[in-house]
C-alpha cells in the first residue's frame, strides 16, 4: 500500500457546471447557513455568528483579512461562517470512538471523514506497539512528553510545529518554552505559505510585513491582485475592492485561472448586492502562465524606465528614489535588457495586454500590489516579490496613502505568531530581549524550518515532534517522505481541536492533546480570559470565545504549554508558568517588555478594535543595513516544462480549509462531488491526445530523474492558462519533492510542479 495519503477517498461522482463569474451574493449566505446549522445547530450558530469579528467577540479563524472600523452586524463571509461552525460543531470524538476504530483503520479514512467526526474531547495515547488510542490523564500525558524531551541527547532533537491558528499569548509561551528548553526548532505553516514574502520584503524594505491598511485599499487608484483567489480565500477583501471601485479606483487581476471573485462581486451585506448585478471587480484580467509574474513585473519596470526616457521628469519619482533607495542604477541598467520575446514566452500574455497595464500604471498615482500563494510557492517566488517592490519604488508607491505592498496572509494569526517569536531564525535582538526578561541564555543557532525538520526526522536527527494547531503531515510536501519521517519519531504529539491525519501517522508513542478553540469560553483561575491576534494589516485586537467548551476535559493552549513547560523544565526558575496559566494578562505584560510595538499592551488592547502596529516603511524608515529600500537585480526566471508536460499548481477548492475539505465541491469553479480532478485547458488536452473526463495519473518529474505519482484523477476541461494544470491540495502533495523549494525562503514549490498526464493504469503506470 502506498503511504501517500488516505486510501478511502470518498466516491468520485464528478459533476461539472459552468464556472461562476460572480462571487458571494445570496447563495453564499445560504451555503454558509446550511453548513453552520448542520454542524452546530441553531443555538450555537447564532451565538458564534453574531459575535464573529465584533469588537468584543470571536476573531474569525477563517483568514487574516482585517475587520473594518465600522462593523456591520454580520461582519463575516460564507467561508468564515463555515469555518467557525466547523469548530462549533456539536459532534464529538470520544474514547468509545477510538476503541471502535484502530489507528490503521483511521489512517485509511479520508481527510474529510476524519474532520467530520467532530471535536476531540479528552487526551488520548497510542502506546508503543498498540493498535488503538486509549484515554490517558493530562498529568500522565504531559509527563510522557517531559520525560521524552529530557531524555533526548540534545534539545535540537525535538521540534515544535505551529500553524497560524495559535493566538499571541500561546505563541509567545511556546517559543519561550522551546528556547528555555534549548532549541530554536520552531517550524511553522509560514514556511509553506508567505515565507517568500517575508524574505523578499525583508531584503528590500527591511520588514517582512505588508504596509497598507484597509483605508489604503479603499483610496487606491490601482490595486493589483496577483496570484490570489480572494472570492474563496479572503472573501471580505471583495468588499474592500468594491469600495476601491466605488471611489473610482481600478483593479487588475493576474491569475492563470479566471477565478469567480475577480470578475464580479455581490455584497451580501448590502441591498444592492442582494438585488443588483453586483460590482465589477477587475478592469483587466491577465491570464498568466504559472511562474510568469517575475517576467511581467520586469517588463512593467522596463516600460516605466522607457516612459521616463521619453518624457523626463514625469514618470519616475526621482526625489523618492534618491532619498529612500539604493541600487537604482544597476537595477535600471539590467531592467533595460529584458526582452519582449522572453516576457511573452514566460507570461503567455500578448504585448498589447502588457502595454494596456502599463498605460493604466501611468495613469495611476497610488498603486497597491496584493498577492498570495500564486507568487510565494514558486522556485523564484522571492525574486518575484523583490521585483514587484522595485515596481512600486520606481514611482514612490510606498509610505503614502493608497499605495504599498499587501501580502494577503492566510491563517488568522500567522503574522502575529511571527511577531511573537515563532520563527526558527528569529533575529538576535529578539533573543537578547527574551534573555534579559527571563534571565536565561536562549540558543543562538538557527533551528529547523518545515523542510529541514522533515529532513532531520527522516535522517534520525530529530525524534520528538510536537505539533500545535495544524496538520503537518498533510500540509507538507512529499507526503510519502513526510509520513515516513514522522513514523520514525519516538514521540509525536498533536495539540488539536479536531481529528486529522497527523493523528493517524504516529511515532512509536503518539499523543492527542485536545484543546479549546477560538469559539470556546476560556476560564482560568483569575476568571474568564481573552486572547489576542494580529491580522494581515498589523491590527492587534482581542478574541473572546462564547460557547461552552466542547468537553469539560479540554485545556487551553496556554494551559497545555505552561504545564508542559513546568513539567519539562522543573519547578522554580525565573519563568512563572503557573501565573501565566492563571491570568493571560500577565503573559501580555511580558510581551509588552519583549516585543517592540507592544508597549502598554494590556491597556491598548482593551480598547474595542485594538491598535495597529506601526510599519516603519510608512514613516520613510527602512530597517535594512543601509537604512534604505533596496532595488535588487533579479535574473529572468520562469518555468519551461518539457514537451508533453504541464505546470501543475496545487490549490484550494472553495469548500475546503487548508488540509481539510468541508465538502466534495468547488462551488465557484463548478466542480461537484469530486476532488481527484485536474483542470486543463481544452487546447492542451487536444494536443496531449486527452479528452474531458479521461481518467489519468499525475506523474511529476524531478531534476534527479525520479518520479512521483498520484493516481486516478479525472480531467476537467477548464479555461486555465495554456500549459498549466490545477489540482487540489493536499491530495497532490505527494507530487512535490521535498527538495523542490523556493530560493532563499525554502518554501515548497506547490504552485510549480512539472507533470505529465498518463492514462490511468496505462502503459506508463507499471514503470512508476
Ligand atoms: N476558504 C478558505 N480560505 C482560506 C484558506 C482555505 O484553505 N480556505 N487558506 C488560508 C491560507 S493559510 C492561505 S495561505 C490563503 C491562500 O490564499 P490563495 O493564495 O488565494 O490560495 P490558493 O488556493 O493556493 O490559490 C492560489 C491562487 O493563485 C493562482 N496562481 C497559481 N499560480 C500562479 C502564478 O504563477 N501566478 C499567478 N499570478 N497566479 C497564480 C491560482 O490560480 C489561485 O487563484 O487563504 C487563506 N484563506
Ligand atoms: N500542495 C500544497 N501544500 C500546501 C499549500 C498549498 O497551497 N499547496 N498551502 C500551504 C499553506 S499556505 C499552509 S498555511 C499550510 C497549512 O497547514 P496547517 O496549518 O498545518 O494545516 P491546517 O489544515 O490549517 O490545520 C488544520 C488542523 O488544525 C487544528 N486546529 C484548528 N483550529 C485549532 C485551534 O484553535 N487550536 C489548535 N490547537 N488546533 C486547531 C485542527 O485539528 C485541524 O485539523 O499548508 C501548506 N501546504
Ligand atoms: S474574510 Fe476571512 S476573516 Fe473575514 S469573515 Fe471571511 S474567512 Fe473570516
Ligand atoms: Mo497559508
Mention every residue, 6+ apart, whose C-beta is less than 8 A from residue 403: 212, 216, 220, 366, 367, 368, 392, 396, 397
What predicted TM-score, i.e. pTM, was given to this entire model?
A: 0.97
Average pLDDT over residues 109-124: 98
Ligand 2 pocket member 249 (CB < 6 A): no
Binding site membership of 471 for ligand 2 (Cβ less than 6 Å): yes
Nearest CA to ligand 2 atom 25: 470
d(CA 66, CA 233): 13
Residues 467-525 have pLDDT tens digits of 999 999 999 999 999 999 999 999 999 999 999 999 999 999 999 999 999 999 999 99
Q: Ligand 1 within 6 A of 232 CB?
A: yes
The C-alpha atoms of residue 538 and residue 399 are separated, in whole angstroms, by: 15
The CA distance from 595 to 589, in Å, is 10
* 344-355 residue pLDDT tens: 999 999 999 999
- At 641, list the grid cell: 516544462
Least distant ligand from the CA of 253: 1
Average pLDDT over residues 394-409: 97
Q: Does ligand 3 lie within 6 Å of residue 190's CB atom?
A: no
CA of 412 to the centre of ligand 4 (A): 9
Residue of 120, 676, 158, 736 lying closest to 475 (CA atoms) = 736
66: CA distance to ligand 2 center in Å? 20
Closest ligand to residue 5's CA? 2
Query: Quick one: pLDDT at residue 10?
Result: 65
Rounded distance, CA 171 to CA 174, Å?
5
What would the pLDDT profile of 267-314 be if each residue is shown by its tens digit? 887 777 767 788 999 999 999 999 999 999 999 999 999 999 999 999
C-alpha span between 261 and 245 (Å, rounded): 14
Give the pLDDT of residue 767: 36
CA-to-CA dists, residue 664 to 15, 47, 501, angstroms: 11, 27, 17
Cα dihedral 694→261→268→654 (10° resolution): 40
Atom of ligand 1 nearest to the CA of 230: 20
Q: How far is the CA of 65 from the centre of ligand 3 (A)?
A: 6
Q: Which atom of ligand 3 is nearest to the CA of 81?
A: 5
Domains and CATH numbers, the chain: 15-87 (no CATH), 93-190+415-609 (3.40.50.740), 195-407 (3.40.228.10), 646-767 (2.40.40.20)
The pLDDT tens digits for 681-740 are 999 999 999 999 999 999 999 988 899 999 999 999 999 999 999 999 999 999 999 999
CB atoms within 10 A of CB 77: 30
Dihedral of the alpha carbons of 454, 457, 461, 463, in degrees to the nearest 10:
140
Read off the DSSP letter of residue 320. H
pLDDT tens per residue, range 225-261: 999 999 999 999 999 999 999 999 999 999 999 999 9
d(C-alpha 31, C-alpha 23), whole Å:
12
User: Ligand 4: distance of its center to the CA of 77 in Å?
Assistant: 18
Each as own residue / partner, the long-range contacts of residues 688-692 (CB below 8 Å, 24 or more positions apart, any chain) are 688/644, 688/757, 690/715, 690/757, 690/759, 691/715, 692/716, 692/717
pLDDT tens, position by position, 457-472: 999 999 999 999 999 9
- Strands 279-280, 284-286: pairing is unpaired
Q: How confident is the model at residue 761 (pLDDT cuts 50, 70, 90)?
A: confident
Q: Give the separation between CA 649 and CA 754, rounded to whole angstroms.
A: 9
Contact between residue 245 and residue 389 where contact means Cβ atoms under 8 Å apart: no
CA pseudo-torsion sign 35, 40, 42, 43? negative
Ligand 2 contact via 497 beta carbon (within 6 Å): yes
State the average pLDDT over residues 737-754. Answer: 98
For residue 756 and ligand 3, the question of a CB distance below 6 A is answered with no
- Counting ligand 1 atoms within 8 A of each CB, the residue from 112, 253, 255, 349 with the most, and so the one to mutate, is 255
Residue 347, ligand 1, Cβ within 6 A:
no
What's the mean pLDDT in 141-167?
A: 98
CA of 258 to the centre of ligand 1 (A): 13
Query: Which residues, at least 6 apart from 336, have a Cβ–Cβ distance to it below 8 Å?
Result: 302, 305, 306
Any atom of ligand 3 within 6 Å of the Cβ of 234: yes
| Local confidence band at 766 (pLDDT 50, 70, 90 cut-offs) | very low
* Per-residue DSSP letter, 659: T
Instruction: Verify whether ligand 3 is closer than 6 Å to residue 76 (CB atom).
Output: yes
Please state, in angstroms and rounded to a whole number, the distance separating the CA atoms of residues 84 and 545: 11
Q: Assign 554 to helix, strand or coil.
A: coil
Mean pLDDT for the stretch of residues 667-686 = 97
CA of 411 to the centre of ligand 4 (A): 6
Residue 259 is classified by DSSP as -
Q: Point out the ligand 2 atom lying closest to the alpha carbon of residue 115.
A: 44
Nearest-angstrom CA–CA distance, 482 and 254: 33
The mean pLDDT value for 108-124 works out to 97
Which residues contact residue 292 at a Cβ distance below 8 angstroms, ignoring those fewer than 6 apart? 346, 347, 348, 349, 638
Mean pLDDT of the 614-619 span: 94
| CB 80 less than 6 A from any atom of ligand 3 | yes
Q: Residue 445: is it exposed, middle or buried by C-beta count within 10 angstroms (0-12/13-18/19+)?
A: exposed
Q: CA 543, CA 549: separation in Å to the nearest integer?
A: 15
Q: Identify the pLDDT of residue 400.
A: 95
Mean pLDDT of the chain: 95
pLDDT tens digits, one per residue of 546-581: 999 999 999 999 999 999 999 999 988 899 999 999
Q: Is 418 in the pocket of ligand 3 (CB under 6 A)?
A: no
Query: CA 241 to CA 148: how far, in whole Å?
Result: 51
For residue 658 and ligand 2, the question of a CB distance below 6 A is answered with: yes
Supply the residue whose CA is at minimum distance from atom 35 of ligand 1. Answer: 290
Instruction: Give the span between the Cα atoms of 82 and 235, in whole angstroms.
Output: 12
Residue 25 has pLDDT above 90, yes or no: no
What is residue 764's predicted lDDT score, i.e. its pLDDT?
44
The candidate with the shortest Cα–Cα distance to 630, out of 320, 205, 198, 201, is 205
Phi, psi of 574 (to 5 degrees): -85, -5
Residue 11: what pLDDT? 63
Q: Which of 191, 469, 732 to mutate to test the pocket of ligand 2 (most atoms within 8 A of CB)?
A: 469
Ligand 2 atom 37 nearest Cα: 469
In terms of pLDDT, which residue wins out, 346 or 763? 346
Q: Cα(442) to centroid of ligand 2, in Å?
A: 28
**Ligand 2 close to Cβ of residue 411 (< 6 A):** yes
Ligand 1: atom nearest CA of 724 is: 32
- Residue whose CA is at the smallest distance from ligand 3 atom 3: 63
Q: Please state the φ and ψ torsions of residue 124, each to the nearest 5 degrees.
A: -135, 150
Spell out which residues have Cβ within 5 A of ligand 4, the ion: 193, 410
Q: Exposure pattern of 497-531 as b/e (b: 16+ CB <10 Å)?
A: bbbbbbbbbbbbbbbbbbbbbbbbebebeeeebbb
- Dist CA 450 CA 454 (whole Å): 6
Amino acid at each position: 500500500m502506498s503511504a501517500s495519503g488516505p486510501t478511502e477517498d470518498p466516491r468520485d461522482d464528478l459533476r461539472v457546471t459552468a464556472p461562476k463569474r460572480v462571487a458571494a451574493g445570496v447563495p453564499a449566505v445560504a451555503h454558509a447557513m446550511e453548513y453552520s446549522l448542520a454542524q452546530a445547530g441553531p443555538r450555537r450558530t447564532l451565538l458564534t455568528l453574531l459575535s464573529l469579528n465584533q469588537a468584543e467577540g470571536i476573531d474569525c479563524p477563517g483568514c487574516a483579512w482585517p475587520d473594518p472600523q465600522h462593523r456591520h452586524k454580520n461582519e463575516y463571509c460564507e467561508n468564515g461562517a463555515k469555518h467557525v461552525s466547523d469548530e462549533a460543531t456539536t459532534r464529538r470524538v470520544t474514547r468509545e470512538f477510538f476503541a471502535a476504530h484502530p489507528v490503521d483503520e483511521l489512517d485509511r479514512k479520508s481527510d474529510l471523514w476524519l474532520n467530520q467526526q467532530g471535536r476531540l474531547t479528552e487526551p488520548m495515547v497510542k502506546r508503543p506497539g498498540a493498535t488503538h488510542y486509549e484515554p490517558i490523564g493530562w498529568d500522565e500525558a504531559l509527563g510522557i512528553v517531559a520525560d521524552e524531551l529530557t531524555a533526548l541527547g540534545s534539545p535540537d532533537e525535538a521540534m515544535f510545529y505551529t500553524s497560524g491558528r495559535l493566538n499571541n499569548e500561546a505563541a509567545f509561551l511556546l517559543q519561550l518554552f522551546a528556547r528555555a528548553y534549548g532549541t530554536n526548532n520552531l517550524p511553522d505553516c509560514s514556511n509553506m505559505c508567505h515565507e517568500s514574502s517575508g524574505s523578499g520584503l525583508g531584503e528590500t524594505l527591511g520588514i517582512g510585513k505588508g504596509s497598507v491598511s484597509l483605508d489604503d485599499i479603499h483610496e487606491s487608484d490601482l490595486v493589483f491582485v496577483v496570484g490570489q483567489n480572494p472570492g474563496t480565500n479572503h472573501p471580505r477583501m471583495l468588499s474592500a475592492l468594491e469600495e476601491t471601485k466605488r471611489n473610482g479606483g481600478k483593479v487588475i487581476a493576474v491569475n492563470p485561472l479566471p477565478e469567480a471573485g475577480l470578475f464580479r462581486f455581490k455584497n451580501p451585506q448590502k441591498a444592492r448586492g442582494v438585488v443588483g448585478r453586483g460590482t465589477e471587480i477587475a478592469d483587466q484580467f491577465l491570464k498568466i502562465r504559472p511562474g510568469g509574474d517575475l517576467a511581467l513585473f520586469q517588463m512593467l519596470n522596463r516600460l516605466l524606465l522607457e516612459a521616463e526616457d521619453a518624457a523626463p521628469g514625469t514618470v519616475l519619482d526621482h526625489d523618492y528614489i534618491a532619498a529612500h533607495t539604493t541600487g537604482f542604477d544597476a537595477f535600471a541598467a539590467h531592467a533595460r535588457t529584458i526582452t519582449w520575446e522572453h516576457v511573452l514566452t514566460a507570461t503567455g500574455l500578448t504585448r498589447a495586454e502588457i502595454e494596456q497595464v502599463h498605460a493604466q500604471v501611468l495613469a495611476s498615482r497610488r498603486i497597491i500590489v496584493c498577492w498570495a500563494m500564486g507568487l510565494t510557492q514558486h522556485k523564484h517566488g522571492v525574486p518575484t516579490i523583490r521585483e514587484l517592490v522595485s515596481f512600486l519604488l520606481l514611482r514612490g508607491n510606498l509610505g503614502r496613502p493608497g499605495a504599498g505592498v499587501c501580502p494577503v496572509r492566510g491563517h488568522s494569526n500567522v503574522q502575529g505568531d511571527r511577531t511573537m517569536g515563532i520563527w526558527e531564525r528569529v533575529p538576535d535582538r529578539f533573543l537578547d530581549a527574551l534573555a534579559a526578561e527571563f534571565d536565561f541564555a536562549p540558543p543562538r543557532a538557527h533551528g529547523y524550518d518545515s523542510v529541514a525538520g522533515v529532513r532531520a526526522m527522516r535522517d534520525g536527527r530529530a525524534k520528538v515532534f510536537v505539533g500545535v494547531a495544524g496538520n503537518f503531515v498533510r500540509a507538507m510536501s512529499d507526503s510519502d517522505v513526510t509520513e515516513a519521517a514522522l513514523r520514525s519519531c519516538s514521540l509525536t504529539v498533536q495539540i488539536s481541536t479536531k481529528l486529522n491525519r497527523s493523528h493517524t501517522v504516529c511515532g512509536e508513542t503518539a499523543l492527542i492533546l485536545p484543546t479549546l478553540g477560538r469559539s470556546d469560553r476560556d476560564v482560568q483561575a483569575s476568571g474568564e480570559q481573552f486572547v489576542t491576534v494580529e491580522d494581515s494589516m498589523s491590527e492587534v485586537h482581542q478574541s473572546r470565545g462564547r460557547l461552552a467548551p466542547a468537553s469539560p476535559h479540554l485545556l487551553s493552549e496556554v494551559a497545555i504549554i505552561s504545564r508542559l513547560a513546568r513539567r519539562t523544565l522543573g519547578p522554580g526558575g525565573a519563568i512563572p508558568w503557573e501565573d501565566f496559566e492563571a491570568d493571560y494578562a500577565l503573559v501580555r505584560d511580558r510581551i509588552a517588555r519583549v516585543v517592540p510595538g507592544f508597549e502598554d499592551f494590556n491597556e491598548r488592547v482593551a480598547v474595542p478594535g485594538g491598535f495597529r502596529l506601526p510599519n516603519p516603511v510608512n514613516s520613510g524608515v527602512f530597517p535594512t543595513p543601509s537604512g534604505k529600500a533596496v532595488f535588487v537585480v533579479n535574473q529572468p526566471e520562469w518555468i519551461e516544462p518539457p514537451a508533453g508536460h504541464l505546470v501543475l499548481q496545487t490549490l484550494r477548492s472553495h469548500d475546503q480549509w487548508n488540509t481539510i475539505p468541508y465538502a466534495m465541491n468547488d462551488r465557484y469553479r463548478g466542480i461537484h462531488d469530486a476532488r481527484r480532478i485536474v483542470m486543463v485547458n481544452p487546447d492542451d488536452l487536444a494536443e496531449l491526445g486527452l479528452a474531458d473526463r479521461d481518467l489519468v495519473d499525475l506523474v511529476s518529474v524531478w531534476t534527479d530523474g525520479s518520479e512521483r505519482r498520484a493516481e486516478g484523477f479525472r480531467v476537467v476541461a477548464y479555461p486555465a492558462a495554456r500549459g498549466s494544470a490545477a489540482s487540489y491540495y493536499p491530495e497532490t502533495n505527494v507530487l512535490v519533492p521535498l527538495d523542490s523549494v523556493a530560493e532563499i525562503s525554502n518554501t515548497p514549490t506547490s504552485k510549480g510542479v512539472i507533470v505529465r498526464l498518463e492514462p490511468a493504469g496505462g502503459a506508463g503506470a507499471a514503470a512508476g
